[in-house]
Amino acid sequence: MSIHNLQFLRSFLTSISEGILVVDRKYTIVYANKALSQLFGYTEEELINQELAVLIPNRIKKQHTKFVDSYNKNPKQQKMSDRDGIFGLHKLGYEIPIEIGLNYFKNDDEQYAIAIISDLSSVKRTNGFLKNIHHIITNQGHSTTEKITDILELGCTMFGLNIGILAQIVEDDYIIKNIAANEKHKQALLAQPSLKVKDTFSAEVIIADEPIFRNNLSSSSANSNALWNLENFIGAKVMVEDKLYGTINFSSEISSDFNFNQTDLEILKLIAQLIGDMIKRDDLVSKLKAFNTELESNVASRTQELRYALKEIQDINVSLKTEVKKRIAAEEAANSSLEQERKLNDLKSRFVSMASHEFRTPLTGILSSATLAEKYAEIGNKEKHHKHIQTIKKSVNHLTSILNDILSLNKIESGVVACQPIQFDIAELTEDVVESMKTILKANQTLVVNKNIDGEPTVFQDEKLLHRALINLISNASKYSDEGKPIVLNVSKDSTNIIIQVKDSGVGIPLEDQQNIFTRFFRASNSGNVQGTGLGLNITKNYIELMQGSISFESEPELGSTFTLKIPTNYNEE
Ligand code: ADP
């Protein structure tokens, strides 16, 4: 092998990450590359010419010697690992899980064994880490903050360092979010009023693409601003949605012989990524919660608004209802006064038509009789003169009776007329009425009186009102019957009432008019040329009611009518 090739081989062996060890038959180390020396805590020179035994833990030395003896007798290519009970012994005395690829070669009749040794500790640590991290992340009982602290603690164990920190970086500020450390370090860190990024190793972390690690820091100047003298540091950026959130780092003030390797950096990257994801998730959850709260409060305030609106509508509704009621009442009042007015107008027009008819005839009669009477007086015809004077008197009496009716009505309306009861004999009253009617009845008209009065004929009532009422009814019976038609007056009395019926066989009252005959100035359509004012029945009804009695009638056109009075025998003065 040329010098050149030898140098290449050396530099190759030095640079590879696997440890390479060559021993002779007497188990003396003849070659150890850099990786192997570092794995076992030695320098390359320290190991040359050492017994292989220095690298074997005591507990397996015997077993190992046996194995090497048999291997020397029958050397072959072979692979072994901690599963076969193979462990290395670190210079500091602890065991290292290793994997060995064994082979042999001969040189100048000398047989050498060559071992390619890989450090299994990082593989083992990785497996352990993955198991633990899974456990931490799936722990339902822990909050995100607690989970992050758990991860920091796991990192500390993993890297053999005693301080783990998650810090948020906001502009220049280094804000510690979670710490895994002993109380002393925790208190010291939290007591810091405000930390600046530039005073921490994170200043280096955030500008590097990959995680960084530093060993043997106590001998460097980097510690000048640190709280205590750091010996080891490993740190990575924590990104949340592609933006820098902060850093995660592990450090120790105790000098440890730990060598960070690629696996550690990968694990750190994984931790940083996990924490970033957790923060993102948490952020999202809190945003969702805030959104939800906002939504709930929006819904609540909207509901409140709706409630107010509903209340307003209800209030408006109530006031509308009141308004509607008021308007209906006002309308009813207007309608009723309109109705009153209409009735009054009706009354007026009925009065005017009655007056024009009933007054004109007697007035014309009076005028012509007066003229004639004057003439007959001039020519000395006393008889004719007297006749016309009588006609004038009759007409004047008629006019007087109309005016009396109108006056009576007025008196009734103004409450002047009142019932003035006295004790009188109903039989006597009947006879008086019959007597008064004699001059009024038409030719051949008879007034038949049937009395059926039980016991005492005296009653306690207004005699005058009853007298006028009966005269009215009998006058009508006479007026609306032809000559020769009989009129019947039935008078009966029991302990409580006087019942008087006035029956005629006259023209009767047309059905359609029957409901109006007690209305003032109303005259039925068949009243023809019969003189009248339409006031008699209205006045009669008022009189009867003043006497606490009632009036009713039955009538058939062409056949006749019967008017019935029912009046208490004893007017109740209370
Ligand atoms: P009038 O002065 O016109 O008789 P009343 O008030 O006494 O006024 O009667 C009202 C109307 O009732 C009369 O105009 C008439 O049409 C009708 N009437 C009253 N009594 C009778 C009766 N006995 N027979 C038929 N019609 C009658």
In tens, the pLDDT along 28-85 reads: 999 999 889 988 888 888 999 999 989 999 888 888 888 878 887 888 888 877 667 7
Which residue has the least CA distance to atom 13 on ligand 1?
523
Q: Is 477 near ligand 1, meaning CB less than 6 Å away?
A: yes
CB atoms within 10 A of CB 569: 16
Counting ligand 1 atoms within 8 A of each CB, the residue from 514, 537, 541 with the most, and so the one to mutate, is: 537
Kindly state the tokens that stand for 360: 């004109």
Counting ligand 1 atoms within 8 A of each CB, the residue from 354, 447, 480 with the most, and so the one to mutate, is: 480
- Quick one: pLDDT at residue 474? 96
Phi, psi of 311 (to 5 degrees): -60, -45
First CA to last CA distance, the chain: 157
Query: Is residue 265 pLDDT above 90, yes or no?
Result: no
Q: Is 509 near ligand 1, meaning CB less than 6 Å away?
A: yes
User: Angle, to 10 degrees, between the axis of helix 463-479 and the axis of helix 536-546?
Assistant: 150
Measured in Å, residue 544 CA sits from the centre of ligand 1 at: 17
The three-state secondary structure class of 309 is helix
Q: Quote the CA–CA distance of 221 and 208 in Å, as a whole number.
A: 19
Which residue has the least CA distance to atom 8 on ligand 1?
534
Q: Quote the CA–CA distance of 99 and 116 in Å, as a whole number.
A: 8
Kindly state the tokens that stand for 301: 């305030």
The answer to whether 202 and 174 are in contact (CB under 8 A) is yes
Q: Quote the CA–CA distance of 476 and 336 in Å, as a whole number.
A: 33
Which residue has the least CA distance to atom 11 on ligand 1?
523
Q: Quote the CA–CA distance of 57 and 96 in Å, as a whole number.
A: 9
The answer to whether 85 and 60 are in contact (CB under 8 A) is yes
Q: Is 527 near ligand 1, meaning CB less than 6 Å away?
A: yes
Kindly state the tokens that stand for 312: 């307003």
CB atoms within 10 A of CB 177: 18
Kindly state the tokens that stand for 11: 């530099």
pLDDT above 70: percentage of residues in the chain: 95
Measured in Å, residue 559 CA sits from the centre of ligand 1 at: 15
Query: Is residue 315 pLDDT above 50, yes or no?
Result: yes
Radius of gyration of the chain (CA): 69
User: Angle, to 10 degrees, between the axis of helix 262-379 and the axis of helix 382-413?
Assistant: 160
Kindly state the tokens that stand for 120: 């299994």
- E-state strands within 146-256: 163-170, 173-180, 195-196, 212-214, 232-240, 243-252
Measured in Å, residue 535 CA sits from the centre of ligand 1 at: 9
Mean pLDDT of 146-158: 89
Measured in Å, residue 528 CA sits from the centre of ligand 1 at: 11
Nearest in space to 466 (alpha carbons), one of 485, 491, 448: 491
- Quick one: pLDDT at residue 526? 94
Ligand 1 atom with minimal separation from the 524 CA:
16
Ligand 1 atom with minimal separation from the 526 CA:
16
Cα 416 to Cα 185, 400, 572, distances in angstroms:
117, 20, 19
Cross-strand pairs, 554: 562
Measured in Å, residue 407 CA sits from the centre of ligand 1 at: 19
Name residue 353's amino acid. S
DSSP per-residue codes, 327-366: HHHHHHHHHHHHHHHHHHHHHHHHHHHHHHHHHHHHHHHH
Q: Is 520 near ligand 1, meaning CB less than 6 Å away?
A: no
Measured in Å, residue 517 CA sits from the centre of ligand 1 at: 7
pLDDT above 90: percentage of residues in the chain: 43
Q: Is 549 near ligand 1, meaning CB less than 6 Å away?
A: no
Kindly give, in sequence order, each residue whose CB lies less than 8 Å from that of residue 108, ignoring residues fewer than 6 positions away.
Answer: none
Lowest mean pLDDT segment, chosen from 128-132, 223-227, 538-542: 223-227
CB atoms within 10 A of CB 94: 13
Burial (Cβ within 10 Å: 0-12, 13-18, ≥19) of residue 293: exposed
DSSP per-residue codes, 77-100: -EEEEGGGT-EEE-TTS-EEEEEE
Q: Is 480 near ligand 1, meaning CB less than 6 Å away?
A: yes
Q: Is 402 near ligand 1, meaning CB less than 6 Å away?
A: no
Measured in Å, residue 423 CA sits from the centre of ligand 1 at: 31
Q: Is 469 near ligand 1, meaning CB less than 6 Å away?
A: no
H helix runs in 438-574, sequence order: 463-479, 536-546
Place of tokens 């009617």: 437
DSSP 214: E
Measured in Å, residue 340 CA sits from the centre of ligand 1 at: 24
Mean pLDDT of 273-283: 91
Q: Is 524 near ligand 1, meaning CB less than 6 Å away?
A: yes
Question: Could you read off the pLDDT of 177-201 as tens digits, one per residue?
Answer: 999 988 888 888 888 778 888 888 8
Question: Could you read off the pLDDT of 482-532 as tens digits, one per residue?
Answer: 999 999 999 998 889 999 999 999 999 999 999 999 998 889 999 988 988
Assign 255 a pLDDT band (cuts: 50, 70, 90).
low
Query: Is residue 421 pLDDT above 80, yes or no?
Result: yes
Q: Quote the CA–CA distance of 564 and 519 in Å, as a whole number.
A: 17
- Quick one: pLDDT at residue 159? 81
Q: Is 523 near ligand 1, meaning CB less than 6 Å away?
A: yes
- Quick one: pLDDT at residue 258? 58
Measured in Å, residue 431 CA sits from the centre of ligand 1 at: 24
Ligand 1 atom with minimal separation from the 506 CA:
24
Q: Is 408 near ligand 1, meaning CB less than 6 Å away?
A: no
Kindly state the tokens that stand for 227: 């709280």
Kindly give, in sequence order, each residue whose CB lies less than 8 Å from that of residue 500, ignoring residues fewer than 6 positions away.
Answer: 470, 489, 490, 491, 492, 564, 565, 567
Which residue has the least CA distance to atom 7 on ligand 1?
536
Assign 226 a pLDDT band (cuts: 50, 70, 90).
low
Measured in Å, residue 403 CA sits from the centre of ligand 1 at: 17
Lowest mean pLDDT segment, chosen from 221-225, 256-260, 454-458: 221-225
- Quick one: pLDDT at residue 475? 95
Burial (Cβ within 10 Å: 0-12, 13-18, ≥19) of residue 480: buried
Burial 430-439 (b: 16+ CB within 10 A, else e): beebbeebee
H helix runs in 380-452, sequence order: 382-413, 426-437
Query: Is residue 108 pLDDT above 50, yes or no?
Result: yes
Counting ligand 1 atoms within 8 A of each CB, the residue from 517, 529, 555 with the most, and so the one to mutate, is: 517
Q: Quote the CA–CA distance of 186 and 92 in Å, as a whole number.
A: 30
Q: Is 462 near ligand 1, meaning CB less than 6 Å away?
A: no
Question: Could you read off the pLDDT of 6-23 as tens digits, one per residue?
Answer: 677 778 888 888 899 999
Question: Which of residues 346 and 298 earns the better pLDDT score?
Answer: 298
Measured in Å, residue 377 CA sits from the centre of ligand 1 at: 40
Q: Is 560 near ligand 1, meaning CB less than 6 Å away?
A: no
Average pLDDT over the chain reads 87
CA 239 to mean position of chain CA atoms: 45
Measured in Å, residue 552 CA sits from the centre of ligand 1 at: 14
Nearest in space to 122 (alpha carbons), one of 298, 243, 319, 261: 261
pTM flag (> 0.75): no
